[in-house]
Amino acid sequence: MSFHLRPLHERRDLTDECIRVINNEWPRSKALRLHSLEKSCSTLPYSLVMTEVSQNEEKKEQVVGYCRFAKVISQKNSVLIETVVVDKERRGQGLGKKLIELAENYAKVSGYDAIYLSTYDMMKFYEHLGYQYCEPVHTFGAQMLENSAVLSGTNTPLPCDNLDETFDEMKEESPVPPSPSSSADISPTLVMFWMTKKL
Ligand SMILES: CC(C)(COP(=O)(O)OP(=O)(O)OC[C@H]1O[C@@H](n2cnc3c(N)ncnc32)[C@H](O)[C@@H]1OP(=O)(O)O)[C@@H](O)C(=O)NCCC(=O)NCCS
């Protein structure tokens, strides 16, 4: 097996599989995902798809992971990584580590010298991969905007040029105020941790 990281805008044929992998973790409508993924282009933000290619004659290519790069404001040599996800069926096999390594390499080749991310529950995973805790940074990341709308304890992101996408997602997710039972799933004290790694 070999693994590759493909920019989605160069491999639109992988879009449906990509949506399957992302929606297995964070369910949204297909239309909403398409709307978001179609925006991937050579300038930030853009989507990266990890595929696994079988080494037999068939050379079958399968989507096994996804992540997205977005802009870090005021640090033109840094990039935000978000929506990091490995296919549910394939976790615990080293693919998450592979995805981050490929993304780091992609960022480095693209001229970035640092990666930032925010997480509220995967700190150990990233610590394991050499990420260190840091101060929050302002980003154009849609995920961050979405999280900050839902959770407390985050830093406030600046307005961004993909607000339409973000607000579409927020509208779809919160058409009515959350009921006590659903809001109980999200701790009001949940805190985002920021982490970074020099490349
Ligand atoms: C987080 C995620 C990408 C990890 O992918 P994975 O393929 O299961 O991880 P790997 O098998 O590559 O694990 C790499 C290493 O990290 C460790 N690790 C993986 N998940 C971990 C976790 N939740 N906590 C602590 N360590 C973890 C593994 O033990 C492994 O250690 P090793 O190298 O010593 O064996 C995957 O679980 C996922 O898609 N989760 C849902 C989406 C998500 O939460 N994304 C992160 C948003 S910030």
| Per-residue model confidence as pLDDT tens for the chain (199 residues) | 899 999 999 999 999 999 999 999 999 999 999 998 988 888 898 999 999 999 887 888 999 999 999 999 989 999 999 999 999 999 999 999 999 999 999 999 999 999 999 999 999 999 999 999 999 999 987 655 555 544 444 443 333 344 444 444 444 443 344 344 433 444 556 789 999 999 9
Q: Whose CA is nearest to atom 47 of ligand 1?
A: 84
Residues with C-beta less than 6 Å from any ligand 1 atom:
25, 84-86, 91-97, 119, 122, 124-125, 128
Closest CA to 172 of 33, 45, 46, 68: 33
Instruction: Kindly give the distance from the C-alpha atom of residue 96 to the centroid of ligand 1, in angstroms, as a whole number.
Output: 6
Q: For residue 82, report the phi and psi dihedrals to the nearest 5 degrees.
A: -145, 170
CA of 103 to the centre of ligand 1 (A): 15
- Give the separation between CA 117 and CA 79, rounded to whole angstroms: 9
pTM for this structure?
Answer: 0.82
Evaluate whether 52 touches 3 at the Cβ level (below 8 Å): yes
